[in-house]
Chains A and B, each alone.
Chain A
Amino acid sequence: MFKKLSLKGSSNTNNQIKSSLQRNIKNSILAQYPKLKDIEEDVFPKKVPIVQVKCQNHINLVLINNEVLFFNEREGPYYPTLRFLHKYPNILPHVQVDKGAIKFVLQGANIMCRGLTSPGAKMEVDLPVDAIVAVMAEGKDHASAIGVMKMSTNDIRTINNDIGINNIHYLGDSLYMSPNLE
């Protein structure tokens, strides 16, 4: 998704949006990630405006204090950025890939079922299709990518073939490398 991150050429990309829209964004994020309700004050401080930046390919970034915290595509679900996920690792369910897959995940490749069922990998939580997950790595403490389940965990175990998780945002992509947009 973020092979190249480029802001649209228009002058009003970096918009401080209407308060009603800010509320909508905040509510939809909190509805999507219930664990954020405990730390709502930290994530969305009062009297700090939420800024929405529009990028190419219909991607919207949500900024607070000039830091990208969430992004979404068109009207789709909001994904947290990796830097935000590193701060609050428990907001997403975790899936672990084996050591051999790390190199490919960090190049932006989708995660194959074999990488999720081999000895070094773990899928402890049962997840449905289209669930947003944090992709951890064997022997590492922090998430290496954020993905969307293309198959349910049960299907991944039984079919054990083809792509299991779509890689949305990974360490080293252009969104990760530009955390602050000024």
Chain B
Amino acid sequence: MSDTESSTPSQPIVVVEYCKICSLPTEYCEYGPSAKQCLKENGPHPNNNKNTASGKDSSNTTATTTTTDTTTTTTTSTENTEEKLKDLKIVDDSKEVSHVDAGKSESKEATGEEKEKEKVSKKKKEVKPQIIIEVNQRNKRKHVTKITGLELYGIKLSDAAKVMAKKFSCGCSVVKSISNPNSEDIDIQGDFGEELVDLIEEKYPTVPLSEIYFLEDKKKVKAR
């Protein structure tokens, strides 16, 4: 008897009911990919009908929204008059310009300014330098790591390639970029994605870690 008692674990195994369709625990079926099918198959889970604190909060929020709606309706009339007053322009009679034309010319000037601002903002966006690390599979077990954008931080690519070749003890070369023929990339023979970030952090402190990205399935993912 004592043997059987000792063999029984102090932590009993919890038996979890998994959904046959989505394979999540049945209480999480509503968040699964096939929620409707699961509902038909299993029926509603008792845990999903519990009145929790968040449920109470939601009822409060609905009440507040209704009150805010009523307040907004009262203020609309005053807002309309303000808008109308904004559109009015004072024009000298001495100048031979109609009231309508005056409004148009001013609006044109405004749009011109906006366009200039947009151009400036676009330029700013374009200038933002990024380092993109991409690991491509060359063979079943062979990988090539490609780094683009190092030269934007004033780093000599040939020197960087030498440093990386020494550090990772592998072939490392400067290659013309496929996407942009004017720029150059560094190709490293091997999968050194994570190690590269550490090396850049160590050797080139001028490069902000927030600007280093991995290319995974044509999507940029922040390295750190």
**A contact residues vs B (CB 8 Å cutoff):** 8-10, 35, 38-39, 41-42, 58, 86-91, 98-100, 102-103, 106, 118-120, 137-142, 144, 171-172, 176-177
Residues of B within 8 A of A8 (CB): 141
Interface residues of B, count at CB 8 A:
28
CB within 8 Å for A99 and B52 given contacts A39-B9, A171-B28: yes
Query: Are B53 and A119 touching (Cβ within 8 A)?
Result: yes
Taking a contact as CB atoms under 8 Å apart, the answer to whether A87 and B14 are in contact is: yes
With beta carbons under 8 angstroms apart, the residue of B11, B28, B53, B55 that contacts A35 is B11
Expressed in whole angstroms, the minimum distance between the Cβ of B105 and any Cβ of chain A is: 48
* Set of chain B residues within 8 Å of A102, measured between Cβ atoms: 28, 31
* A91 to B10 alpha-carbon distance, docked (Å): 12
Q: Say yes or no: B9 contacts A140, CB within 8 Å.
A: no
Task: Please give, as numbers and ranges, the residues of chain A lying within 8 Å of B31 by CB-CB distance.
Answer: 102-103, 106, 171
Contact residues in B for A90 (Cβ distance below 8 Å): 11
Known: A99-B52, A103-B31, A138-B52. A171 touches B25 (CB 8 A): yes
Q: A38 near B11 (CB under 8 angstroms)?
A: yes
Are the C-beta atoms of A98 and B54 separated by less than 8 Å? yes
The answer to whether A140 and B11 have CB atoms under 8 Å apart is: no
Q: Among residues 48 to 68 in chain B, which have CB atoms less than 8 Å away from a CB atom of chain A? A: 48, 50, 52-55, 57
What B residues does A138 contact at CB under 8 A?
Answer: 52-54
| Given contact pairs A142-B25, A144-B28, A39 touches B10 in the complex (Cβ within 8 A) | yes
CB within 8 Å of A: which of B8-40? 9-11, 13-14, 16, 22-25, 27-28, 31-33
Hey, which chain B residues are within 8 Å of A39, CB to CB? 9-11
- Find out whether the CB atom of B32 lies under 8 angstroms from the CB atom of A86: no
- Asked if residues B54 and A106 are in contact (CB atoms below 8 Å), the reply is no
- Specify which of A87, A120, A139 is in contact with B47 (CB 8 Å cutoff): A139
